[in-house]
Amino acid sequence: MAVSISENDGDDDFAESHEINVTPFIDVMLVLLIIFMVAAPLSTVDLPIDLPTSSATPQKKPDKPTYLSIKPDLTLAIGENAVKRADLINSLDAVPDMGRDKYVFLRADRTVPYGELMGVMELLRAGGYTHVKLVTLEGVPGAPAAAPAEPAKP
């Protein structure tokens, strides 16, 4: 018992198909999607800084913010890369898509003295970076700010 697949039994050549096979493209796109889903959470700044809280209304963050962090040991870091105070402006100039008209997001640990914070802001101002935003943790609106770790000394 023989079965014929097509009407043209004598021709062994298959008819040409003029359609694009999109299955490999879909497979590549799914792999890229998985890679980006895994890599996106890893692209955030991950320095151990204890930020103060604020009850101010959060503002929209730009797509690629430039974070300048002052660690508890008073060292500076742009993103996660440590920089020396003398090289701060040159390092900011080397950041891609960073101009003097863009905002620098300044993060300082809760234990950093106010004078050190102002010293870094003065370095930024002297280098031409006058657009500075201070970063805090979001607090509960209407709640009092967290008490300082030490009582103020007269």
pLDDT in tens, 5-16: 555 555 566 777
Between 138 and 96, name the one with better pLDDT.
96
Give me the percent of the chain exceeding a pLDDT of 70.
77
Domain ranges of the chain: 67-135
Q: Selecting from 2.60.40.1150, 1.20.1260.10, 3.30.420.270, 3.20.20.80, what CATH number does the domain 67-135 have?
A: 3.30.420.270
Asked if 103 and 133 count as a contact pair (C-beta separation under 8 A), the reply is yes
**Predicted TM-score of the model (pTM):** 0.55
